[in-house]
Amino acid sequence: MKEDLITKYPFIKSGLKEYFGFGKPLSEFLEENSNYLADVSRDILDVVNGKDISFPIEPDERVKKFILAKILLTFIRDYFVSARYAIRERKILYDNIELEQDHRNIMLVAKELGIKFELRDGRYLVSVQSFLKNAVVFNDKELKLCNQEMIEGRVVADRRIIAKLIREAFYRIYMEEVNSLSSFPEEVSPILKGYAEKIIVRGGQIRQERANLGPLNTKAFPPCLTMIISQMSKGMNVSHPARFFLVTFLHRIGLSNDEIFKYFGEVPDFAEKITKYQIEHITGTGRGREYMVPSCNTLMSLGLCYKETDELCRSGVINHPLNYYKRKNVRRGPERKNEVNGEKTNH
């Protein structure tokens, strides 16, 4: 396989075989590439901490580090950690597909990821099944089936759309593989443990930071969220961005999918299966990526900001709805401890 191709698309199995070899014990591969394994461990930790990283451009290093990252993430099996790293890989893949000059390479990558399509007159004709399976980005209008041109029962896709489908297929498969229950040979676990320890600790710290938001306190909800909940309870058909914000926020402060689901019971177009699927997709529990809560600037651009109705928002110190919740959700001794779902209990 050409070196530039395997550098851009290191997950292609025919290329991986050239670097991993046949019949080589995993422990031997890890020991031979211990210097790369140390680099990969630092890269994963940097990504978990929100830092940007660059991937090698030299073929041998790029492919071996790709393999080692998957091995280490599979050993760790922390969904949040692997999602952070996979998002970085998927971005690089998306950029490479958009810039790809050879249609044959796009066909090769798509086939590798199970996407069925045909190239005709410079346009990609994608099977509806492949399109729907990978067009799962909740708030991307470009990937709505109703917005697509159809020919002979297939979706007509341009380079941008096909790049998005490839990107999502890669992410889904990558996450399935690294989060699957896998057993490692006895001689391998001690090797990986040393490189995984800091990453595991940091993942635990992040979960603890999330838990520190405390019990649910509806009185601490920002006005943007309160407005959306009020509208939904009155049977109003709120926008998709509003629903997306509601789900991400409630998920982030610790509500389960079932608890979030209850907020949708009064909306006019309520459909149980669709609502559950969308909640699972947004929260990352349906084998997708976990979406972040939109910032105040994003909510403002979507017409979902009501800062003029709230003194704290008007003060200018709040740039994210979660910051509002944290400020308002300050523990207040015994009284605070007895608040459940925004209600107080009497002593």
Per-residue pLDDT reduced to its tens digit, 149-164: 999 889 999 889 999 9
At residue 183, the pLDDT reads 84
Average pLDDT over residues 68-72: 95
Checking if the pLDDT of 1 tops 90, the result is no
Asked if pLDDT for residue 227 goes beyond 90, the answer is yes
To 10 degrees, the CA torsion angle through 103, 108, 114, 118? 40
Mean pLDDT over 261-284 rounds to 83
pLDDT at 141 over 60: yes
Q: Specify whether the CB–CB gap between 320 and 292 falls below 8 A.
A: no
User: Cα–chain-centroid distance for residue 134?
Assistant: 14
Q: Please give the pLDDT value at position 347.
A: 30
pLDDT value, residue 89? 93
Predicted confidence (pLDDT) per residue in 170-226, tens digit:
988 998 899 887 788 889 999 999 999 999 998 878 766 665 666 678 899 999 999
pLDDT of the residue at 84 = 83
Residues 6+ apart with CB under 8 A from 136: 143, 168, 172, 281, 288
Question: In this predicted structure, which of 10-24, 105-119, 262-276, 309-323 has the lowest mean pLDDT?
Answer: 10-24
What would the two tokens of residue 185 be?
């040979």
Give the tens place of pLDDT for each residue, 6-49.
889 999 887 677 766 666 788 998 999 999 999 999 999 999 88
- Mean pLDDT across the stretch 254-283? 84
Average pLDDT, the chain: 84
Question: Which amino acid is located at 59 in the chain?
Answer: P
Tokens of 17: 């075989």
Residue 43, C-beta contacts closer than 8 angstroms, at least 6 positions apart: 53, 65, 69, 85
